[in-house]
Amino acid sequence: MPKPGPLSLNTVTVKERWGLAECIEGCARHGIPGISPWRDVLAAMGVQKAARRIRDAGLTVTGLCRGGMFTAPDAAGRRRAIDDNRRAIAEAFELGAACLVMVCGGLPPGSKDLPGAREMVRDGLHEILAEARAAGVTLALEPLHPMTCADRSVLSTLAQALDLCDQLGAGTGVALDVYHVWWDPDLERQMARAQGRIAAFHACDWLVPTTDTVFDRGMMGDGVIDIPRIRAIAEAAGYKGFVEVEILSKRWWQENPDDVLEVMKLRHTTAC
Ligand code: ZN
């Protein structure tokens, strides 16, 4: 099996202890060549300053997290979401990010209308697509595990994400997160469809038992996901990019970030 692509740090992995400045310095210090900031730490530093510092450190921005969250109970809420996505596209452009990761949104509060929520997602994406194309920012649709369908993403499978990409056309792709797709019996067939459209590869692991549906992700190698297998399928579908480590974990957030990065580097070579 070929070696995994270069490592990238998704800043959420160390979010309790490091802001963006520390993440940039940490990546440089540890020889990690990629970074993927979340917008909260980006806003705290300021986008232009962040872009300059990341460039000066020689890091590749493998993605910006995140756009999306299109679903809302009323038109005003949906409009605010569109406006926020426009700002996210501008930020991704400023950073030279490989993609803007899209977490599309769950059911609006109080709603049981799942098809309606999916329509809101499709409509929202349609509305921002021209702007993303003009900026050269790829919208990377990230299907999320169906357990988060109600509160985070009504986009649950790679098949759904690719159907949307088919409808939307140029300027769209998928963010493949092993945490969200590992269970999917249709994964290999869908990945073949994803040829040339995988914009990001997110790595972590699925722990048994999982104690929190969002904040109990594992370090690669500590759970049940066959990451090398999924990576091989992604590479067969043309993906040649970074392995971005994205671990939302109350446990890992307590650790010293320098230690987290050391473990990441080790597991990148042994478990990815
Ligand atoms: Zn992800």
The confidence score (pLDDT) of residue 156 equals 98
| 167 token code pair | 């409808």
Domain with 72 in it:
7-270
Expressed in angstroms and rounded, the spacing between residue 63 Cα and the centre of ligand 1 is 10
Which of 106, 97, 96, 94 has its CA nearest to residue 66? 97
From ligand 1's centre to the CA of 142, what distance in Å?
7
Q: What's residue 270's pLDDT?
A: 97
**Residue 191: what pLDDT?**
96
Q: For residue 117, what pLDDT band results from cuts at 50, 70 and 90?
A: very high
CA of 115 relative to ligand 1 center, distance in Å: 24
266 CA distance to ligand 1 centroid (A)?
20
Would residue 2 count as lying in a domain? no
Express as a percent the part of the chain with pLDDT over 90: 99
Please return the burial class of 107, using the count of CB atoms within 10 Å of its CB with bins 0-12, 13-18 and 19+: buried
In whole angstroms, give the CA distance from residue 171 to residue 34.
22
Amino acid residing at 174? V
Q: Which of 177, 138, 184, 141 is nearest to 161 (CA)?
A: 141
pTM: 0.97
* Any domain includes 155: yes
Per DSSP, the residues of 108-150 read: PTT---HHHHHHHHHHHHHHHHHHHHHHT--EEE----GGGTT
Mean residue pLDDT of the chain comes to 98
> With 0-12 CB in 10 A as exposed, 13-18 as middle and 19+ as buried, what is 150?
middle
Checking if the pLDDT of 2 tops 90, the result is no
Query: What distance in angstroms lies between residue 145's CA and the mean position of ligand 1's atoms?
Result: 10
Query: What CATH number is given to the structural domain containing 175?
Result: 3.20.20.150
Centroid of ligand 1 to alpha carbon of 246 (angstroms): 6
- Does 204 reside within a domain? yes
Rounded mean pLDDT, 39-54? 98
Give residue 208 CA to ligand 1 midpoint distance, Å. Answer: 19
Is 29 a domain residue? yes
Residue 219: closest CA among 243, 191, 188:
243
Q: Is 1 inside a domain boundary?
A: no
Answer whether residue 154 is part of any domain.
yes
pLDDT at 1 exceeding the cut of 90: no
Give distance in angstroms: CA of 135 to centre of ligand 1: 22
The helix-helix angle for 75-95 and 114-135 (nearest 10°) equals 30
133 CA to centre of ligand 1 in angstroms: 22
Spatial separation of the C-alpha atoms in residues 201 and 222, rounded to whole Å: 18
CA 129 / ligand 1 centre spacing (Å)? 21
143 — alpha (psi -120 to 50), left (phi > 0) or beta? beta
The total of structural domains in the chain comes to 1
